[in-house]
Chain A
Amino acid sequence: MRTMIQLIHVSKQYDQRPALSDVTLEIDKGEFVLLMGPSGAGKSTLLRMLIGAERPDEGQIFVHQKNVTTLKPSDIPHLRRKVGTVFQDFRLLPKKSVFDNVALPLLVQGISSADIRRKVTEALRAVGVEHKRDQLPAGLSTGEQQRVCIARAIVNGPVVLLADEPTGNLDPVLTAEIIELFKLINARGTTVVVATHDPLVMAQVNRRVLTLSQGRLLPEHRVLV
């Protein structure tokens, strides 16, 4: 199976206001896709649906051959262990060190201490903040915090990495660095979906672009590298 993510006629409304309307799309395994659109276009809703945080009113969603729309609540944590998530506001635990923040996804799975140490060290090295492992998030720059957030998202070795406006709080130089990091992660075989409204990101990524406008998916254009 080549398809990693599939949405079939997905619709969602909030208070009679459509957030997504009849969205159908497919993303293949190993693809790097940009999900573009202005604020309120439905990008975050779509990403939240992919991790089972929202249920569509209509349609079906498949991630890694699992029908997310019919998953039992008790199965959702297992889906989320396969899908790493990166947030605009990083969402790091302020009272935990960088190491402990990155270790969390492994800890919730009951992985051994030795494996946790090894995997966290690898993830921190991959994003270039290994030397900050004992610091608290407040002592890091915004770029470093985003790197820690990415390390936490990839520490499990997820099949999909979702990023919701990951460069929203970063300057152009840091944005470029983070995008390079996503490209590296993608090059290792992880499917990457980045939701953004930043044209700078689109220029740097230069890959497939899906555009949402008022909850509808516009005809797509594919940029070849």
Chain B
Amino acid sequence: MRTLSYLLRESWVNMWTNRTTTMVAILTTAFTLACVGIFLLLYVNLRAAAGWLQDDIKIMVYLDDRLASDSVTEVEQNLRGDRAVASLLFISKEQALGEFKAQFPSESHLLDGLGQNPLPASFVVALSPSFRSPDAVMRWADRVRQVAGVSKVDYNQDWIDALATVIRSIELVAIGIGVILSAAAVTIIANTIRLTLFARREEIAILRLIGATTSFIRIPYLLEGAVLGALGSTLSLVMLKFMYELFRQQMRTTGRFAGLDNLMAFFPPSVCVALIAVGMGLGFAGSFVSIRRFGEAKA
């Protein structure tokens, strides 16, 4: 218990003794993580926007014209039981004809000459979010084509592919920038801890000579790094939230992008907690790097 309180006290003393360096480290970490946060926020919102676009992807499942009404119900039950299907809308032959005529009034006479309604009944299917990737859509369509009574499955493959490419690109850019700026945060914290280690090298040497284990020596510095990272990431979230609110207010007052401000969203609490944990982890890593470089060889 006394050892634990000693280690915690040492971490606090380290930070308090070098408070200017500590403050600079927290601020620079906060600015760096805020940059990561901006891109993450952009990513989250663009990803959400892409999600709304994906909601619009509809797959047409056309039924065989000769299908009896019992069999139509069977196909419908089959589709409703499919976990990939999020929603289902039946369009009868008559409804299809009505819609055609409504959409193409000048062409409706073409169908009149045929005597009978050539348009098939169909289901308009929207897939669940986890089944909207190009591969998943293709696999689902191939499977449904095999269902008895289904004559054709139709969807816009190009549109799905293009959307998937956009989402993947956003992800790659976000990951790339996140990795680079996270490395910067690790370096900043590593340098701060290195300064502390340098200032306390004599003390560390004494601790080694009196039989302190490596972990006993390391723990206060690792704690210090973790605290710096956590404080830096918390401050970065505060800065981001402030900038976010300022941006939304600006959008409202200028009246540009009307309605877009309502669609924008900040990180949910769980993501905020995760980001603070990530900051803590980066601080811990930075501290670990410094301690390793400082070396174990010095007795």
B3 and A80 contact, CB distance less than 8 A:
no
CB of B213 within 8 Å of the partner chain: yes
A108 and B2 contact, CB distance less than 8 A:
no
CB of A74 within 8 Å of the partner chain: yes
B202 to A, closest residue via Cβ: A91
In B1-52, the 8 Å CB interface with A consists of 1-3, 6, 13
A93 and B210 contact, CB distance less than 8 A:
no
Q: Which of B6, B205, B210 contacts A105 (CB 8 A)?
A: B210
B213 and A104 contact, CB distance less than 8 A:
no
The size of the chain B interface, using a CB distance under 8 A, is 20
A53 and B214 contact, CB distance less than 8 A:
no
Which of A79, A91, A95, A107 has most B Cβ within 10 Å?
A107
CA distance A49 to B4 in the complex (A): 31
CA distance A48 to B209 in the complex (A): 10
Of the candidate stretches A110-118, A178-186, A191-199, the one touching chain B is: A110-118
Contacts of B3 in A (CB 8 A): 107-108, 110
Mask, B201-222, CB within 8 Å of A = 1, is: 0110111111111101000000
B2 and A73 contact, CB distance less than 8 A:
no
Q: Which of A48, A91, A109 contacts B211 (CB 8 A)?
A: A109
A51 and B296 contact, CB distance less than 8 A:
no
Q: Which of A53, A111, A116 contacts B299 (CB 8 A)?
A: A53
CA distance A218 to B245 in the complex (A): 81
Contacts of A113 in B (CB 8 A): 1-2
A85 to B, closest residue via Cβ: B209
CA distance A25 to B209 in the complex (A): 24
B206 and A108 contact, CB distance less than 8 A:
no
B205 to A, closest residue via Cβ: A91
B5 to A, closest residue via Cβ: A113
Tell me the minimal C-beta distance from A50 to chain B in angstroms.
12
B210 to A, closest residue via Cβ: A105
Which of B2, B6, B207, B299 has most A Cβ within 10 Å?
B2
Tell me the minimal C-beta distance from B220 to chain A in angstroms.
12
In A48-65, the 8 Å CB interface with B consists of 48, 51-54
A105 and B211 contact, CB distance less than 8 A:
yes
Contacts of A81 in B (CB 8 A): 210-211
Contacts of B213 in A (CB 8 A): 74, 77, 108
Tell me the minimal C-beta distance from B4 to chain A in angstroms.
9
CA distance A156 to B214 in the complex (A): 19
Contacts of A85 in B (CB 8 A): 209-210
Task: Say yes or no: A93-B211 contact (C-beta < 8 A), given A54-B299, A107-B2, A110-B3.
Answer: no
In A106-135, the 8 Å CB interface with B consists of 107-113, 116
CB of A152 within 8 Å of the partner chain: yes
In A24-43, the 8 Å CB interface with B consists of none
Tell me the minimal C-beta distance from A69 to chain B in angstroms.
15
CA distance A85 to B13 in the complex (A): 26
Q: Which of B203, B216, B296, B299 contacts A48 (CB 8 A)?
A: B299
CB of A66 within 8 Å of the partner chain: no
Contacts of A54 in B (CB 8 A): 299
Contacts of A52 in B (CB 8 A): 299
Contacts of A105 in B (CB 8 A): 210-211
A108 and B211 contact, CB distance less than 8 A:
yes
Q: Which of B202, B212, B296 contacts A73 (CB 8 A)?
A: B296
CA distance A95 to B202 in the complex (A): 12
Contacts of A80 in B (CB 8 A): 208-211
Which of A74, A109, A156 has most B Cβ within 10 Å?
A109
A93 and B6 contact, CB distance less than 8 A:
no
CB of A2 within 8 Å of the partner chain: no
CA distance A192 to B202 in the complex (A): 25
Contacts of B13 in A (CB 8 A): 95
Using a CB–CB distance below 8 Å, which chain A residues touch chain B? 48, 51-54, 73-74, 77-81, 85, 91, 93, 95, 104-105, 107-113, 116, 152, 156
Using a CB–CB distance below 8 Å, which chain B residues touch chain A? 1-3, 6, 13, 202-203, 205-214, 216, 296, 299
Pairs across A and B, CB under 8 Å, 19 listed: A73-B296, A74-B214, A78-B211, A80-B209, A81-B211, A85-B209, A91-B205, A91-B209, A93-B203, A93-B206, A104-B206, A105-B210, A107-B2, A108-B3, A110-B3, A112-B1, A113-B1, A113-B2, A116-B2
